[in-house]
């Protein structure tokens, strides 16, 4: 197979399909999503068989337990895909919405219309349900998409692709609106991220290594998600019980998620009161603490935090703890060492809450809430293609709107420039 020619063909077809998708009406898109859900429901046995083949190959290749777990399409996960498709169908259609139509002195009326980005390339790793999730979001937002899943999930992904095509066909939409790359050749990724004539944006979903590699090599814009080094700052005027609850929840609700707290900052005024109690809770939950000198003066048994700890996303039951002289030092620490993902202040002070919200340069900034809320579903986006740590285009959880753009529309009665 000539991978370059194959990818170019996918690109050409996607570009053509994107024109049809851009003008597809809401009812057709929703019909396609419902028909995809039906097709998946009707093909459970086929999906299970394809997945069993991937699982067997994975075991033979020696994939670790975590990877095999992500690869598995359990009946519950198939239910989840079906439910997800129906949920996306129920979301409002973002495309074509017009805002801010204002008359100008020249007599023209100018506003903005929400439009699809065009063709979106999605590159992901083992989880085959991403195929369905990503396809549904791109479809609802009027885009064509080229999906490149992990090679270990190739049979599962191809089986899902058949159901997706059935859904598109049932709704009279072009089957090329969602194309799943059929080769596992890595050259396909290299080509996918370097065809600006056919692909408008790349969304990589996976580990940091994958995302960094793609960002470096891509010749089209990338909506990327790198580290989540999230902070909770307990202010001198924090409510004691809110502080304890949030500090525990933000660290221990789940360890491996990007919105998990990795560093706890505590105002020196309340450190002696709160840290011993917090340490006891963390100890019971098996969380290892690494502290600054002041923290260790209060909690003598714990490890010293090194310079590296402040810049580390543990994704594990480890927490760095630092005592700070006040909010200014906390904000300085967050903006310097954080990853601009999600950071929270716990305080009852109105003025400090307002300043923290404005001055912390992160995609989500919170007052008196757990960092674990930074999530497209919790934010009411209805769905999430990922969380962007970029500053341009989309920041934070990316839903349907992040897969769109706005163009200007101008209505006139024959006006010309004078």
Q: Which residues bind a second copy (CB under 8 A)?
A: 19, 22-23, 96, 102, 104, 106, 108, 110, 113, 115, 117-118, 200-201, 221, 223, 239, 241-242, 245-246, 248-250, 253, 335, 344, 355, 357-359, 361-370, 372-374, 378-380, 390-393, 395-397, 405-417
The minimum distance between CB 413 and a second copy, in angstroms, equals 6
Smaller CB separation from a second copy, 191 or 296: 191
User: In terms of CB distance, is 147 or 199 closer to a second copy?
Assistant: 199
Q: CB 408 → a second copy: shortest distance, Å?
A: 4
In 3-state terms, what secondary structure has residue 231?
strand
- Choose between 89 and 247: whose C-beta lies nearer to a second copy: 247
Residue 298 backbone dihedrals phi, psi, to 5 degrees: -85, -30
One DSSP character per residue, 107-145 reads: S-EEEEEEEE-SEEEEEE-S-THHHHHHHHHHHHTT-EE
According to DSSP H, which parts of 141-267 are helical? 154-170, 187-192, 208-217, 240-252
Residue 31 C-beta: closest distance to a second copy, Å:
19
Distance CA 374, CA 250 (A): 11
19 vs 208, beta carbon nearer a second copy? 19
C-alpha 83/C-alpha 331 separation (Å) is: 41
What's 307-350 look like in SS3? HHHHHCCCCCCEEEEEEECCHHHHHHHHHHHCCCCEEEEECCCH
Q: Which is nearer to a second copy, 2 or 216 (CB)?
A: 216
Task: Give whichever of 161 and 233 is closer to a second copy, judged by the CB atom.
Answer: 233
Least distance from C-beta 78 to a second copy, angstroms? Answer: 26
Q: How far is the CB of 404 from a second copy (least distance, A)?
A: 10
Euclidean distance between CA atoms 16 and 296, whole angstroms: 62
**345 DSSP β-pair partners:** 233, 367
Q: Which is nearer to a second copy, 163 or 344 (CB)?
A: 344
Q: Are 363 and 259 in contact (CB under 8 A)?
A: no
For the CA atoms of 41, 46, 51, 52, what is the dihedral angle to 10 degrees? 130
Tell me the closest approach of the beta carbon of residue 42 to a second copy, in angstroms: 33
CB of 301 to a second copy, least distance (A): 27
């Amino acid at each position: 197979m000539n991978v370059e020619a194959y990818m170019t063909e996918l690109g050409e077809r996607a570009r053509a399909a994107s024109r049809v998708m851009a003008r597809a009406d809401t009812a057709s898109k929703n019909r396609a999503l419902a028909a995809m859900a039906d097709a998946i429901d009707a093909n459970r046995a086929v999906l299970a068989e394809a997945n069993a083949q991937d699982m067997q190959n994975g075991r033979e290749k020696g994939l670790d337990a975590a990877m095999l777990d992500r690869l598995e399409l359990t009946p519950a996960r198939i239910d989840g895909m079906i439910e997800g498709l129906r949920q996306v169908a129920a979301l409002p259609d973002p495309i074509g919405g017009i805002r801010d139509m204002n008359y100008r002195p020249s007599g023209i009326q100018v506003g903005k219309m929400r439009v699809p980005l065009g063709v979106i390339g999605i590159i992901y790793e083992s989880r085959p349900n991403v195929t369905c999730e990503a396809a549904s979001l791109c479809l609802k937002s009027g885009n064509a998409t080229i999906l490149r899943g992990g090679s270990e999930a190739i049979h599962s992904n191809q089986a899902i692709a058949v159901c997706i095509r059935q859904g598109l066909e049932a709704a009279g939409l072009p089957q090329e609106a969602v194309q799943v790359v059929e080769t596992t050749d890595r050259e396909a990724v290299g080509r996918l991220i370097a065809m600006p004539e056919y692909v408008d944006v790349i969304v990589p979903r996976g580990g940091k290594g994958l995302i960094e590699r793609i960002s470096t090599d891509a010749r089209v814009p990338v909506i990327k998600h790198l580290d989540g080094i999230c902070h909770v700052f307990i202010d001198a005027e924090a409510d004691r019980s809110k502080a304890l609850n949030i500090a525990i929840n933000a660290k221990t609700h789940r360890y491996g998620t990007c919105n998990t707290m990795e560093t706890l900052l505590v105002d020196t005024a309340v450190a002696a009161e709160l840290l011993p109690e917090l340490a006891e809770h963390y100890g019971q939950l098996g969380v290892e603490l690494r502290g600054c000198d002041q923290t260790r003066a209060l909690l003598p048994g714990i490890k010293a935090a090194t310079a590296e700890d402040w810049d580390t996303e543990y994704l594990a039951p480890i927490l760095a703890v630092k005592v700070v002289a006040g909010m200014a030092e906390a904000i300085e620490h967050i903006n310097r060492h954080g990853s601009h993902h999600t950071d929270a202040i716990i305080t009852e002070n109105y003025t400090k809450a307002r300043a923290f919200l404005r001055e912390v340069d992160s995609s989500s900034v919170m007052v008196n809430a757990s960092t674990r809320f930074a999530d497209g579903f919790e934010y009411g986006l209805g769905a999430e293609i990922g969380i962007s740590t970029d500053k341009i285009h989309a920041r934070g959880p990316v839903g349907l709107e992040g897969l769109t753009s706005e163009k200007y529309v101008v209505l006139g009665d024959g006006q010309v420039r004078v």
